């Protein structure tokens, strides 16, 4: 099903049909993000879509009336509007182009949202190129989709004089100023269809009406050209092209991908009338239909038959958290990969035999004394029977597709180490024993690494990884004498093996507000890894990057999470 957030997103989503998707407007992105997390937890495949206006055009439309009001002479007004569209006009003391960049918070949140999705929807490949330049991480597999609005159906007739309709039904009249001004010297009728409100006072040559005004249909009946305002959505332009109008559309809308005869406009006031002159003589036609989408994004299938699927052992140490262990095992029961065992190592904690017994795929190993999580994990490895080994904490979550995606990638590629992306959930224990979520981030543990990058930092959490068993024989186990043992291990593996990366969020790491990471000296531990275990005296660039990393770690506020959440929920003091 489609979940849509925002009034326009809900209207747009109705045209997408019955598909698994989350569609949102930028202002509603936090709500879409939380819905994406819920679907990842359930293992559901879905498309992600943010209906983002082209920032350059949105800014130009918004400020055009102010630019005109600041200049009295018509020719100077035109020059000023051209500068605004080009980004060279001075707005609030700085070039207009500096206002176009989305905020860093939006870039990160939108990147995270797309990272949680299985594939992204775009309205055109032109839009995809724009988004790829904006967002902070590689984008998802992409599908192009076209949603055409329902337009007035009129009986066309030959005009007695030239007429142009400016089509901006979702914008207030003042945001059509640029388009109307660009047609100020047009000798003919100009009708601007907008969402209402007063137009700029200098546009008396044009008539402004609402979409339901009775004057719209007669104007469309005789107009040879429609100028479409939307700079991110090709739907209006393609719908008018389908009716045989000459169409002018912003270049960034991507309408030319579907209707090659559409005249693309660069946004400058001085060129709009030239575009209209061409469109008056050149009726457009639709040449490429919109894509027919599968109901949900298609996942890669396993490269071997079910009878050949190797056993995967997931090792989980536990200590005095039976409720958390039960929740973790429920998540493992939902795995789509059919040949999994979970080796639970009770590190001399409270009894959990009844918890483990409820899950036939799980086995319990009892430690007589408490040895710590890493030694307990090593005990689990000794009892694991699988050809592939994965790790998780008793309060972490492996999403339903985790094992299937990673093992498929390992088998397909022949690699020794495979990992996905991870969601970091900042949590705080409540008095009733439950966890309260304070924040979420899918950017902390996103992306893979190279041998050189791993010498500085590894953006991978231990529970994101599945390896072939031989890896631990060849490369050794986790060190028990350092707090950063998981990062040190991954650093070692990166020097020896190629990593195969499944670019999907397949696991969840719980970052506790009072967890182990708050109890040790991170700077000192990082120096042990850098200076004692993995020194690089012959690589000054790596040494400099390490020094900057140490400085950044030292600047963290005590008691604060190591990685700031992208989405905050509630208050830590609550």
What span, in angstroms and rounded, lies between the C-alpha atoms of 166 and 43? 45
CA quadruple 88, 185, 251, 13: dihedral, nearest 10 = 110
Model confidence at 227, pLDDT cuts 50, 70, 90, reads: very high
**Exposed, middle or buried, 548 (CB in 10 Å: 0-12/13-18/19+)?**
exposed
pLDDT score at 573: 38
The model's pLDDT over 318-340, given as tens digits with 9 standing for 90+, comes to 999 999 999 999 999 999 999 99
What span, in angstroms and rounded, lies between the C-alpha atoms of 342 and 371? 20
Chain centroid offset of residue 251 CA = 24
What span, in angstroms and rounded, lies between the C-alpha atoms of 86 and 89? 8
Per-residue pLDDT averaged across 36-45, rounded? 93
The residue ranking higher by pLDDT, 493 or 101, is: 493
Place of tokens 């995270």: 112
pLDDT score at 305: 57
Residue 1 has pLDDT above 70, yes or no: yes
**HSE-up (13 A, CA, CB side) for residue 137:** 23
The model's pLDDT over 495-550, given as tens digits with 9 standing for 90+, comes to 999 999 998 999 999 887 655 445 578 899 999 999 999 999 999 999 999 999 99
pLDDT score at 412: 87
Total Cβ atoms within 10 A of residue 95 = 14
Residue 20 has pLDDT above 90, yes or no: yes
The model carries a pTM of: 0.88
What span, in angstroms and rounded, lies between the C-alpha atoms of 263 and 245? 11
Model confidence at 202, pLDDT cuts 50, 70, 90, reads: confident
Q: What's the mean per-residue pLDDT of the chain? A: 90
Per-residue pLDDT averaged across 384-390, rounded? 96
Q: Report CA torsion sign: 27, 93, 134, 506.
A: negative
Place of tokens 């991908």: 257
DSSP 520-570: S-HHHHHHIIIIIIS--TT-HHHHHHHHHHHHHHHTSPTTS-SS--SEE-S
Output the six-digit token pair for 513: 């507000």
What span, in angstroms and rounded, lies between the C-alpha atoms of 508 and 463? 8
What span, in angstroms and rounded, lies between the C-alpha atoms of 567 and 36? 12
What span, in angstroms and rounded, lies between the C-alpha atoms of 407 and 397? 17
Which candidate, 563, 558, 416, 433, places its Cα nearest to that of 500?
A: 416
Total Cβ atoms within 10 A of residue 12 = 22
pLDDT score at 443: 86
pLDDT score at 87: 87
pLDDT score at 301: 61
Residue 51 has pLDDT above 60, yes or no: yes
Least confident of 156-170, 299-313, 370-384, 417-431: 299-313
The model's pLDDT over 552-572, given as tens digits with 9 standing for 90+, comes to 888 877 666 667 888 888 644
Per-residue pLDDT averaged across 280-305, rounded? 75
pLDDT score at 290: 59
Residue 302 has pLDDT above 60, yes or no: no
What span, in angstroms and rounded, lies between the C-alpha atoms of 158 and 223? 8
- For residue 488, give the H/E element and its range: helix 485-496
Model confidence at 308, pLDDT cuts 50, 70, 90, reads: confident
Domains recognised in the chain with CATH numbers: 2-51+102-144 (no CATH), 163-281 (3.40.50.2000), 306-520+564-568 (3.90.550.10)
Q: Report CA torsion sign: 446, 452, 455, 456.
A: negative
DSSP 201-266: TT-TTSEEE-TT-TTHHHHHHH-SEEEE--SS--HHHHHHHHTT-EEEEEGGG-GGGT-TTPEEE-
Model confidence at 574, pLDDT cuts 50, 70, 90, reads: very low
The model's pLDDT over 115-139, given as tens digits with 9 standing for 90+, comes to 999 999 999 999 999 898 888 776 7
Contacts of 393 (CB under 8 A, 6+ apart): 316, 317, 328, 373, 463, 510
Q: Report CA torsion sign: 407, 409, 413, 415.
A: negative
Q: 143-179: string of b/e by CB count within 10 Å (b at 16+)?
A: bbbbbbbebeeeeeeeeeebbbbbbbbbbbbbbbbbb
Contacts of 66 (CB under 8 A, 6+ apart): none
The model's pLDDT over 61-111, given as tens digits with 9 standing for 90+, comes to 999 999 888 888 989 999 999 999 988 888 888 888 888 888 888 999 999
Residue 204 has pLDDT above 90, yes or no: no
The model's pLDDT over 345-356, given as tens digits with 9 standing for 90+, comes to 999 999 999 999
Residue 218 has pLDDT above 70, yes or no: yes
Output the six-digit token pair for 349: 């904690």
What span, in angstroms and rounded, lies between the C-alpha atoms of 566 and 143? 26
């Amino acid at each position: 099903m489609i979940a849509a957030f925002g009034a326009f997103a809900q209207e747009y989503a109705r045209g997408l049909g019955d598909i698994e998707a989350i569609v949102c407007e930028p202002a509603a992105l936090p709500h879409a993000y939380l819905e994406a997390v819920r679907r990842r937890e359930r293992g559901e495949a879905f498309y992600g879509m943010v209906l983002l206006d082209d920032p350059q055009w949105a800014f130009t439309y918004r400020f055009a009336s102010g630019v005109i009001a600041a200049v009295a002479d018509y020719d100077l007004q035109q020059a000023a509007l051209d500068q605004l569209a080009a980004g060279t006009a001075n707005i609030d003391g700085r070039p207009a182009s500096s206002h176009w960049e989305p905020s860093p918070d939006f870039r990160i949140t939108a990147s995270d949202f797309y990272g949680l999705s299985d594939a992204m929807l775009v309205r055109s490949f032109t839009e995809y190129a724009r988004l790829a330049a904006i967002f902070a991480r590689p984008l998802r597999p992409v599908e192009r989709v076209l949603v055409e609005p329902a337009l007035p159906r009129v009986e066309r007739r030959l005009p007695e004089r030239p007429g142009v309709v400016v089509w901006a039904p979702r914008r207030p009249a003042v945001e059509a100023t640029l388009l109307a001004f660009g047609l100020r010297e047009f000798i003919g009728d100009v009708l601007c269809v907008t969402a209402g409100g007063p137009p700029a006072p200098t546009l008396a040559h044009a008539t402004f009406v609402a979409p339901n005004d009775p004057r719209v249909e007669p104007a469309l009946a005789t107009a040879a050209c429609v100028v479409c305002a939307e700079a991110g959505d090709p739907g209006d332009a393609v719908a008018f092209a389908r009716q045989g109008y000459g169409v002018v559309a912003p270049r960034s809308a991507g309408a030319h991908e579907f209707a090659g005869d559409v005249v693309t406009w660069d946004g400058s006031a001085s060129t709009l009338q030239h575009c209209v002159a061409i469109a008056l003589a050149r009726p457009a036609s639709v040449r490429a239909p919109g894509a027919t989408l599968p109901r949900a994004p298609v996942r890669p299938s396993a490269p071997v038959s079910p009878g050949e699927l190797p056993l995967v052992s997931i090792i989980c140490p536990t200590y005095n958290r039976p409720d958390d262990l039960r929740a973790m095992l429920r998540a493992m029961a939902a795995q789509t990969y059919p040949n999994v065992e979970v080796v639970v190592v009770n590190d001399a904690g409270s009894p959990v035999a009844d918890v483990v017994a409820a899950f036939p795929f799980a086995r319990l190993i009892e430690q007589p004394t408490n040895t710590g999580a890493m030694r307990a994990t090593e005990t689990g490895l000794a009892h694991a029977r699988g050809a592939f080994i994965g790790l998780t904490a008793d309060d972490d979550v492996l999403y339903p597709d985790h094992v299937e995606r990673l093992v498929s990638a390992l088998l397909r590629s022949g690699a020794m180490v495979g990992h996905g992306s991870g969601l970091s959930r900042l949590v705080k224990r409540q008095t009733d024993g439950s966890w309260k979520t304070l924040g979420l981030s899918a950017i902390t543990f996103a992306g893979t690494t190279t041998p050189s990058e791993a010498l500085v930092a590894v953006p991978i959490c231990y529970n994101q990884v599945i390896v072939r068993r031989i890896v631990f024989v060849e490369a050794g186990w986790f060190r028990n004498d350092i707090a950063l043992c998981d990062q040190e291990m991954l650093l070692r593996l990166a020097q020896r093996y190629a990593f195969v990366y499944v670019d999907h969020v397949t696991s969840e790491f719980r970052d506790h507000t009072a967890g182990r990471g708050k109890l040790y000296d991170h700077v000192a531990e990082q120096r042990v890894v850098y200076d004692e275990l993995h020194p690089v005296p012959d690589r000054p660039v790596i040494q400099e990057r390490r020094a900057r990393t140490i400085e950044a770690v030292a600047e963290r506020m005590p008691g604060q999470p190591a990685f700031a959440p992208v989405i905050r929920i509630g208050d830590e003091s609550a």
